[in-house]
């Protein structure tokens, strides 16, 4: 969702900004633009579509090589269509200020009324153009642009990460954040501000995670972080990023998604790092918290599916009752009835999902401890949670989440084992046996993934033209069915629905005919006989079935896909990449934009 980068330094700034935007492409966008100062003016160049269109336009701008300070933006439309006049940067009426913005200013219509009454005109439908003009207006009575910027932001309600350039200060960038990600990068003789670390990672690993209600003023050699409220200076810890650009590049794979699916064995290994001691799980982050009497898991999309999967383990192994809820529903519940010793677990790869962050804040307001399970270090959710567990999966670039789910599942399994120890839900021997199975997963997956990829490819050729799909599963396979359907629809735009297999006969089965296939998770577990009955019901309506199953089971279906056997629920770690690979292959075969599916953003920072 919208990518921002600002740069002040000693290099030609526009190429730095364009490359930074390219490294933010995974966030999804429909137009892009840059602003830079030169010859006493602010120049803005914008284009719809991909960055190549913007570069094409920049090639005709003669001053692009000279500036050493610039800012850029990739826009994912919220207010107004994805057309050039709505693309960022936006300028104030007198041309003195330019702004890029990620987020939504909720009261922009009211602010606009005031500005229109004062004679301001608008060429876009965006809230950003209102904000930049509000700064121009407030500057008339402010000592300087910094005070005007702060005053305008105090009047704006909503979410934002913004960068501002002033024609009068060619080497300066102002930036601020409120509930949208913004990270400050400190280089040598150059400074950066961006929505995410990869934007500037080739130049510096030193970062400051800006917080809500902060403004930064940066030049090539200086920076100040200030409180928005009263412009008091604020001192921040400087963090050093451990991962490098290699981790954020395709490394020979056709797409980031494929690379990330194949990274899952390594993700499991890394997830274990620092979490084992003397053959048992240690999660120091949880030591200070009581074992919850009841856990409320709150998340969106794939992270929500991880939560549904994790419930089985937490209840079965650790005897912790679990409720799982979608964050956009949880945040608006009129009354969530928490009991003493309840805990909320928010799961988010990005740590920036607006609904999940709002759910976290709502729960904290009720005085309930909130545990965050995040991948992105220093993200908003990670910082605001009472305690955070990092999934340690490395950067996930593809918009479709794959390895993040695997890492979340691992952490949920480790949490269940950890609380099982404290709750005496499992014996040491039982925990060790389970841990040995988990520890064997990387080798098992490394060996199995190439054949699974091949089978996914074969099946994709047969089913790519299908317009509808059901995914069915029971028990721990039900969340995986939901995830399989989500992956297929988001990547290939084929309508797919995930269902609890037992629920089919209560209505959905009416849709079954020979052109409507069903992907069934028919793994070798206690619920298999029930699943087989549901499969037979589908076949009785001439529905074709693909059964994802284990060797040696007697299945009479259209297509069988055998994967290595593991005891339930750990079998999910093998079923998951199969589902991901099938969706990947269908989408790639259909020529879809696998890493950046239409209409989607990696990090959903609006409601």
* Interface residues toward ligand M6R, by CB under 6 A: 300-303, 348-350, 353, 356, 399-401, 490, 600, 603-604
The nearest distance, CB 470 to ligand M6R, in angstroms, is 19
The nearest distance, CB 423 to ligand M6R, in angstroms, is 27
Specify whether the CB–CB gap between 297 and 345 falls below 8 A: yes
The nearest distance, CB 126 to ligand M6R, in angstroms, is 23
- Tell me the C-alpha distance between 449 and 443, whole Å: 10
- Tell me the C-alpha distance between 314 and 72, whole Å: 45
CA 169 to chain centre: 35
Between 102 and 350, whose beta carbon lies closer to ligand M6R?
Answer: 350
Between 47 and 488, whose beta carbon lies closer to ligand M6R?
Answer: 488
The nearest distance, CB 305 to ligand M6R, in angstroms, is 8
Question: For 458, which DSSP code?
Answer: H
Question: 319 in the Ramachandran plot: left (φ > 0), alpha (ψ -120 to 50) or beta?
Answer: left
Between 84 and 212, whose beta carbon lies closer to ligand M6R?
Answer: 212
Cβ atoms < 10 Å from Cβ of 523: 29
Between 448 and 600, whose beta carbon lies closer to ligand M6R?
Answer: 600
- Tokens 């955070």 locate to 388
Pairing of strands 342-348, 370-374: parallel
List, by residue number, the catalytic residues.
2, 602
Between 182 and 538, whose beta carbon lies closer to ligand M6R?
Answer: 182
HSE on the CB side for 344, CA within 13 Å?
A: 31
Between 128 and 401, whose beta carbon lies closer to ligand M6R?
Answer: 401
Between 402 and 518, whose beta carbon lies closer to ligand M6R?
Answer: 402
The torsion defined by the Cα of 437, 440, 441 and 442, in degrees rounded to 10, comes to: 160
- Tell me the C-alpha distance between 255 and 584, whole Å: 9
Which two tokens mark 178? 């409120």
- Tell me the C-alpha distance between 232 and 444, whole Å: 55
Specify whether the CB–CB gap between 464 and 586 falls below 8 A: yes
Between 51 and 300, whose beta carbon lies closer to ligand M6R?
Answer: 300
The nearest distance, CB 591 to ligand M6R, in angstroms, is 20
The nearest distance, CB 112 to ligand M6R, in angstroms, is 30
- Describe the strand order of the beta sheet including 387-390 as a list of residue ranges: 322-326, 294-299, 342-348, 370-374, 387-390
Cβ atoms < 10 Å from Cβ of 277: 9
Between 129 and 595, whose beta carbon lies closer to ligand M6R?
Answer: 595
Specify whether the CB–CB gap between 10 and 70 falls below 8 A: no
- Tell me the C-alpha distance between 142 and 154, whole Å: 14
Instruction: Find all residues with CB under 8 Å of 58, minimum gap 6, and list them.
Output: 14, 18, 34, 45, 64
- Tell me the C-alpha distance between 129 and 121, whole Å: 10
Angle (CA) 318-323-329 rounded to 5° is 155
Cβ atoms < 10 Å from Cβ of 602: 25
Cβ atoms < 10 Å from Cβ of 572: 26
- Tell me the C-alpha distance between 499 and 482, whole Å: 7
The nearest distance, CB 462 to ligand M6R, in angstroms, is 24
The nearest distance, CB 424 to ligand M6R, in angstroms, is 32
The nearest distance, CB 247 to ligand M6R, in angstroms, is 17
Cβ atoms < 10 Å from Cβ of 126: 25
The nearest distance, CB 473 to ligand M6R, in angstroms, is 18
- Tokens 């719809």 locate to 48
Task: Please give the residue whose beta carbon sits closest to ligand M6R in the complex.
Answer: 301
Between 490 and 585, whose beta carbon lies closer to ligand M6R?
Answer: 490
Specify whether the CB–CB gap between 401 and 597 falls below 8 A: no
The nearest distance, CB 583 to ligand M6R, in angstroms, is 10
- Tell me the C-alpha distance between 385 and 359, whole Å: 11
Between 300 and 504, whose beta carbon lies closer to ligand M6R?
Answer: 300
- Tell me the C-alpha distance between 596 and 16, whole Å: 22
- Tell me the C-alpha distance between 473 and 487, whole Å: 15
């Amino acid at each position: 969702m919208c990518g921002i980068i600002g740069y002040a330094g000693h290099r030609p700034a526009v190429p730095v900004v364009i490359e930074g935007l390219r490294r933010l492409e995974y966030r999804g966008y429909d137009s892009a633009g840059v602003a830079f100062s030169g010859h006493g003016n602010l120049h803005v160049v914008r284009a719809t579509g991909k960055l190549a269109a913007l570069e094409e336009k920049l090639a005709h701008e003669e001053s692009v090589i000279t500036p050493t300070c610039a800012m850029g933006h990739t826009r994912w439309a919220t207010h107004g269509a994805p057309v050039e006049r709505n693309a960022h940067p936006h300028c104030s009426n007198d041309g003195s200020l330019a702004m890029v913005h990620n987020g939504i200013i909720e009261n922009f219509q009211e602010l606009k009324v005031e500005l229109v009454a004062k004679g301001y005109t608008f060429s876009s439908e965006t809230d950003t153009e209102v904000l930049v003009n509000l700064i121009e207006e407030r500057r008339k009575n402010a000592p300087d642009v910094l005070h005007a910027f702060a005053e305008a932001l105090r009047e704006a309600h909503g979410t934002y990460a913004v960068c501002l350039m002033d024609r009068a200060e060619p080497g300066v960038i102002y930036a601020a954040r409120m509930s949208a990600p913004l990270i400050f990068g400190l280089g040598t003789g150059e400074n950066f501000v961006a929505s995410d670390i990869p934007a500037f990672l080739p130049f510096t690993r030193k970062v400051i995670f800006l917080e809500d209600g902060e403004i930064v003023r940066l030049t090539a050699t200086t920076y100040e972080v200030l409180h928005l409220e009263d412009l008091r200076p604020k001192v921040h810890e400087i963090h050093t990023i451990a991962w490098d650009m290699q981790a954020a590049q395709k490394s020979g794979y056709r797409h980031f998604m494929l690379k990330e699916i194949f990274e899952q064995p390594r993700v499991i290994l890394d997830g274990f790092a620092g979490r084992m001691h003397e053959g048992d799980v240690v999660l120091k982050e949880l030591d200070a918290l009581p074992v919850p009497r009841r856990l409320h898991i709150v998340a969106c999309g794939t992270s929500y599916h991880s939560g549904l999967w994790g419930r089985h383990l937490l209840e079965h192994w650790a005897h912790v009752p679990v409720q799982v809820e979608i964050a956009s529903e949880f945040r608006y519940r009129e009354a969530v009835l928490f009991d003493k010793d309840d805990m909320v677990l928010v799961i988010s790869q990005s740590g920036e999902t607006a609904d999940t962050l709002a759910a976290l804040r709502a729960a904290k307001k009720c005085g309930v401890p909130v545990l965050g399970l995040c991948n992105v270090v220093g993200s908003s959710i990670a910082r605001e949670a009472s305690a955070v567990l990092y999934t340690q999966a490395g950067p996930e670039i593809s918009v479709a989440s794959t390895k993040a789910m695997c890492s979340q599942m691992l952490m949920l399994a480790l949490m269940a084992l950890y609380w099982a120890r404290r709750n005496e839900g499992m014996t040491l021997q039982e925990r060790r046996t389970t841990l040995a199975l988990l520890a064997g997963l990387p080798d098992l997956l490394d060996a199995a993934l190439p054949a699974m990829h091949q089978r996914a490819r074969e099946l994709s050729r047969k089913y790519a033209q299908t317009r509808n799909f059901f995914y069915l599963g029971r028990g721990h396979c039900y969340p995986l069915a939901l995830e399989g359907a989500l992956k297929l629809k988001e990547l290939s735009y084929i309508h797919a629905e995930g269902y609890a297999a037992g629920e089919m006969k209560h209505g959905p089965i009416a849709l079954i005919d020979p052109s409507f296939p069903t992907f069934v998770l028919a793994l070798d577990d206690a619920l298999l006989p029930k699943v087989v009955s549901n499969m037979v019901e589908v076949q009785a309506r001439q529905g074709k079935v693909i059964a994802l199953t284990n060797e040696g089971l007697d299945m009479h279906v259209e297509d069988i896909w055998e994967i290595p056997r593991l005891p339930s629920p750990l079998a999910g770690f093998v079923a998951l990449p199969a589902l991901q690979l099938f969706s990947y292959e269908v989408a790639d075969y259909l020529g879809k934009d696998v890493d950046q599916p239409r209409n989607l953003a990696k990090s959903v920072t609006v409601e």
